[in-house]
Homo-oligomer: A and B are copies of this chain.
Amino acid sequence: MTSEFKATRRVEFSETDMAGIVHFSNFFRYMETVEHAFWRSVGTSVVMTQFDPPLGLPRVHAACDYKRPLRFEDTVEMHLRVIEKRARSLAFEIRFTRITPGPAEEVASGKLVVVCVQKNEDGTLQAVPLPEAIASQIEVAPDAQP
C-alpha cells in the first residue's frame, strides 16, 4: 500500500520570472511532476491507455500557499501524500521544501484533487471508479487532514 511519494528537482532558469523567483504557476507543474511519479510508483502512467476505453485523471481542484521564494538552481523536494480517497477521486497534499542551499525550509504547500474519467468514443468524459487493481495499492496517509 502506497500513501506518499517524494521527488526532487532543480529549478530551471526558464521557470523564474522578473522578480528573480520561480513563477507561482510553476508550482502547479512541480505538483504534477511528483504526482505522475507517484502513479508510476504504483505501476501505471497517469495516462491509462491500458484500459478500454482509456482512463484519465483530470484535475478538478488545485491550490497552493506560498511561504518563501524558490530561486534558480535551488533544489526543491516535493513530498506528495494521499489525503483523501474516494471511489472516483483522490486528493493529494504536496509540500515543497528547499533542500539546497540549506538549511532545509518549507517554501510552499499545495493540493490537487483528481477525478478518474473514461473517455467515451464520442469524446465525452464520464467519472468512473478508479480500477481496483490500482485503487487497492493506494491508501490515505496516516495523519492526513483533507
Contacts and interface: CB of A to CB of B under 8 A. Distances in A.
A73 interface: yes
Contact of A12 (B24, B29, B69, B71): B29
Q: How many copies does the complex hold?
A: 4
Interface stretch (A13-21, A82-90, A136-144): A13-21
Interface residues of A, number: 37
B33 A12 contact: yes
A6 interface: no
A63 interface: yes
A124 to B, nearest CB: 11
A133 to B, nearest CB: 20
Given A13-B18, A13-B46, A18-B72, A61 B61 contact: no
A25 interface: yes
18 contacts: A12-B29, A13-B46, A14-B25, A14-B29, A14-B32, A16-B17, A18-B21, A18-B47, A18-B71, A19-B58, A24-B59, A25-B26, A25-B62, A28-B28, A36-B73, A40-B73, A45-B73, A63-B64
